[in-house]
């Protein structure tokens, strides 16, 4: 294994009170092609900009070859960047754009003077050296003879190549690429993916690539770092990430997947969609888990010949395969197969033990820190909810003035009592507007789990999350409000 070239230790970046990058640890080995992958706003670009030096971390440190570079400005780092929208110098032609870094560079030359002493001089590169390097870089990106062209007359693809040439001509130790192919059309993007991969092989330098395109990441990378909400979700090879997603976010973000609820019923046996399947992971008995199965890992066989019977309810031709929806009980499962089955046909499916991926359930119950208000309601997550405070003390009751009378006749004022609040995922009602519920918020995530959706609603101020299991589909960024039946709110006294 090559040595670590760059290392991020507990790095955080805060913008306007929100941690865009939240305490991440990451190292990258020399010569690797690493992709930071995640949806927009996940912190991947900020991470890249901190490595480049454009942003200073609010916490943690960044090491380059073991040396702390956190406070070193970008122009002193042996790192170059390819920007998303090229950022070529509009006042310079192609040659001067590429030579920009070379003209600034000073190299250490050692001479021997007439007394036989060694003299060290820092000198600029000669015009000839610059010429050679520029034409070599242009050759690398297939744009020979473009030296005198005005950059504003070039096409998007050509500008991107110039931007790459401008960066690699400086022979950086690390090349950073910030969604460099985002502005190109599909065909051009696919060609450039292969070219970049080849360039990486030829140059042998470390590439750190930022993208939100999972296909791009899977195609090009040696290692993928999946990020969400400023936190690293999983680090691994493309195969690992695809085949063994660590959590339902990764499973949902990388490729298509079926996510279902299951229970571990025996050693290496999991029960879901009404059948006990063999599997290869070790989990604790009776644990509630999420089961992930890729659509292409499910085989359709004739009725009664497989593990679970069900019905095909839709089928779409996708070029290489058919994408069919298989219904068993209330659960819909997406299956990709090259042989089409008719809609309405009763079939059976087989899932091999290797293809069943088990993940710990991330959310089993919503829990919050709250307190009792003076009118015996409970305040948490930016709202005040009706609740039954007598549950806090068994056998207690409320008197006319609102004081709590305990079983042994003690009179208690519950105002401001801190409590632990728990609400089951399926006991929260989502309302399609911001006013009719108790607390309003925005839907920040929605994941389909076979027979229901798991929706996360985040409150605007304190950013508390309500995780809700619902049978209805909602849209991300919808503004909604939530309502909870008092009997579904469990209160526990906080032990002081």
Q: Which residues bind another protein (CB under 8 A)?
A: 52-54, 73-75, 79-81, 83-85, 87-91, 100-101, 104-105, 150, 152, 166-167, 170
Taking the least distance from each CB to another protein, the nearer of 84 and 367 is: 84
CB of 73 to another protein, least distance (A): 7
Distance CA 229, CA 50 (A): 17
CB of 86 to another protein, least distance (A): 8
Is there a contact between 35 and 225 (Cβ–Cβ < 8 Å)?
yes
Taking the least distance from each CB to another protein, the nearer of 87 and 301 is: 87
Is there a contact between 73 and 93 (Cβ–Cβ < 8 Å)?
no
CB of 84 to another protein, least distance (A): 8
Taking the least distance from each CB to another protein, the nearer of 26 and 163 is: 163
Taking the least distance from each CB to another protein, the nearer of 84 and 237 is: 84
CB of 52 to another protein, least distance (A): 6
CB of 16 to another protein, least distance (A): 13
Taking the least distance from each CB to another protein, the nearer of 175 and 482 is: 175
Taking the least distance from each CB to another protein, the nearer of 99 and 425 is: 99
CB of 56 to another protein, least distance (A): 13
Distance CA 308, CA 322 (A): 20
* 210: CB partners within 8 A, 6+ apart: 35, 36, 44, 45, 47, 48, 176, 177, 178, 179
Taking the least distance from each CB to another protein, the nearer of 98 and 225 is: 98
Taking the least distance from each CB to another protein, the nearer of 54 and 472 is: 54
CB of 202 to another protein, least distance (A): 21
CB of 62 to another protein, least distance (A): 16
């Amino acid at each position: 294994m090559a040595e670590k070239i760059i290392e991020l230790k507990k790095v955080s970046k805060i913008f306007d009170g929100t941690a865009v990058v939240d305490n991440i640890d990451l190292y990258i080995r020399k010569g690797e092609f690493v992709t930071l992958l995640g949806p927009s706003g996940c912190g991947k670009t900020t991470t890249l900009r901190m490595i480049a030096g454009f942003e200073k971390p609010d916490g943690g440190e960044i090491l380059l070859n073991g040396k702390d570079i956190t406070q070193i400005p970008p122009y002193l780092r042996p790192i170059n960047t390819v920007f998303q929208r090229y950022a070529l110098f509009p006042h310079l032609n192609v040659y001067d754009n590429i030579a920009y870094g070379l003209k600034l560079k000073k190299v250490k030359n050692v001479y021997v003077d007439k007394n036989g002493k060694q003299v060290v001089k820092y000198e600029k590169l000669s015009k000839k050296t610059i010429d050679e390097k520029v034409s070599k870089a242009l050759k690398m990106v297939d744009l020979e003879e473009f030296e005198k062209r005005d950059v504003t007359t070039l096409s998007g693809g050509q500008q991107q190549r110039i931007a790459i040439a401008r960066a690699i001509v400086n022979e950086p130790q690390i090349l950073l690429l910030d969604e460099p192919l985002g502005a190109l059309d599909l065909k051009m993007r696919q060609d450039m993916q292969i070219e970049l991969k080849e360039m990486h092989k030829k140059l042998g330098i470390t590439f750190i690539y930022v993208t939100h395109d999972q296909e791009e990441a899977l195609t090009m990378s040696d290692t993928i770092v999946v990020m969400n909400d400023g936190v690293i979700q999983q680090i691994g090879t493309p195969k690992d990430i695809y085949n063994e997603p660590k959590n339902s976010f990764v499973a949902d973000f990388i490729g298509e997947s079926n996510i279902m609820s299951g229970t571990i019923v025996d050693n290496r046996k999991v029960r879901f969609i009404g059948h006990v399947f063999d599997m290869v992971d070790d989990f604790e008995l009776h644990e509630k888990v999420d089961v992930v199965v890729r659509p292409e890992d499910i085989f359709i066989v004739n009725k009664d010949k497989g593990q679970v019977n069900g019905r095909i309810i839709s089928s779409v031709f996708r070029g290489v395969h058919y994408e069919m929806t298989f219904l068993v009980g209330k659960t819909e499962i997406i299956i990709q197969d090259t042989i089409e089955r008719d809609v309405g046909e009763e079939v059976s499916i087989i899932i091999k033990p290797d293809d069943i991926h088990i993940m710990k359930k991330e959310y089993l119950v919503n829990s919050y820190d709250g307190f009792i208000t003076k009118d015996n309601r409970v305040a948490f997550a930016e709202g005040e909810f009706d609740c039954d405070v007598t549950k806090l003390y068994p056998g207690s009751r409320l008197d006319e003035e609102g004081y709590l009378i305990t079983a042994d006749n003690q009179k208690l004022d519950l105002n401001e009592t801190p409590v632990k609040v728990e609400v089951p995922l399926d006991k929260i009602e989502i309302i399609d507007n911001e006013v009719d519920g108790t607390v309003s918020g925005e839907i920040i995530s929605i994941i389909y789990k076979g027979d229901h959706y798991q929706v996360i609603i985040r409150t605007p101020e304190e950013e508390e999350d309500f995780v809700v299991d619902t049978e209805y589909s909602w849209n991300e960024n919808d503004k909604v409000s939530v309502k909870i039946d008092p009997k579904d709110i469990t209160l526990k006294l906080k032990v002081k």
